[in-house]
Amino acid sequence: MTDRAVLVTGSSRGIGRAVVEAFAAGGDRVAIHHRDSADAAEELRARLPGSGHVVVRADLTDPDAVRAMVDRAAELLGGLDVLVNNAGVYGDRDAPHPVFGTSYEQWQQRWRQAVETNLTGAGNVIWCAAQHLRERGGRIVNVSSRGAFRGEPDQPAYGASKAGLNALGQSLAVALAPYGITVTTVAPGFVATDMTTEHLRGEQGAAIRAQSPFDRVARPEEIAAAVHWLASPQAEWASGTIVDLNGASYLRS
């Protein structure tokens, strides 16, 4: 059992929710971040084991709100030991934005949405969290995507923003190591969450599952287990690593 102060962004549901549950089950105190899901975040906090868990809110596209949120989480938790950068936006799976078939205005809007949250927002969270982590060292784990490597032809802004997050994580793994801070990344493929249930049940479900030779998609708990280990004291030598969690649905050299 441990007793660390952990901030997980985008953690009221899906992968983030499973990550919060994994840390709480291990004895850590967790700050559950959300943008507009206060009820879900409070429900999660109320049923977590242990005590000292808190809920914080911020729109990650607002730099001032990000700083206030991270500082508030550190204040309520009595410091900060771990940051899990999980919050991100994919875009509407039913409304792709290819180069052809999208207006210039729509194209710019999708890029702003993806980059401001998935890359700039995540980078701002890291900067703010690092001011607290440098006091005693710590762990940063970024949640990226298989799409950063294989490409996202229907959602190119998403793929590009996650590729940028990968590069940011590796750059900071070198920059922050002298301060005892590790930076690692997980890159999941398709994950069964409340946001993907409709697609898995629909006509595309079989094709999505068939992308993996296991003929299924990941469970949030599987992603959370990897995140939890990367944030452990035993994982310091993994700093700079990008861990593929896609059930062999995409293999890179």
Structure-block tokens of residue 149: 């490597």
Please name each of the domains of the chain with its CATH number.
Answer: 5-245 (3.40.50.720)
Which residue spans within the chain are E strands per DSSP?
5-8, 29-34, 54-57, 82-85, 138-143, 181-188, 242-245
Count the Cβ atoms, other than its own, within 10 Å of residue 27.
Answer: 12
The answer to whether 250 is a known catalytic residue is no
Task: Give alpha helix (H) positions in 26-62.
Answer: 38-47
Instruction: Match 């940063």 to its residue by tokens.
Output: 140
List the one residue out of 207, 210, 197, 157 whose CA is nearest residue 14: 197
Predicted confidence at residue 90, as pLDDT, reads 87
48-106 tens-digit pLDDT: 999 999 999 999 999 999 999 999 999 999 999 999 999 999 876 656 788 888 899 99
The model's pTM: 0.96
Burial class (CB in 10 A: 0-12, 13-18, 19+), 166: middle
For the ranges 122-126, 151-155, 225-229, 246-250, the lowest mean pLDDT is seen at 151-155
Q: Tell me which of 90, 104, 158, 250 is the catalytic residue.
A: 158
Dihedral of the alpha carbons of 174, 177, 182, 188, in degrees to the nearest 10: 0
| Total length of the chain | 253
pLDDT tens, position by position, 157-172: 999 999 999 999 999 9
pLDDT band at residue 195, thresholds of 50, 70 and 90? confident
Residues 6+ apart with CB under 8 A from 5: 28, 29, 31, 73, 74, 77, 78, 79, 80, 81, 82
Instruction: Specify whether the CB–CB gap between 147 and 162 falls below 8 A.
Output: yes
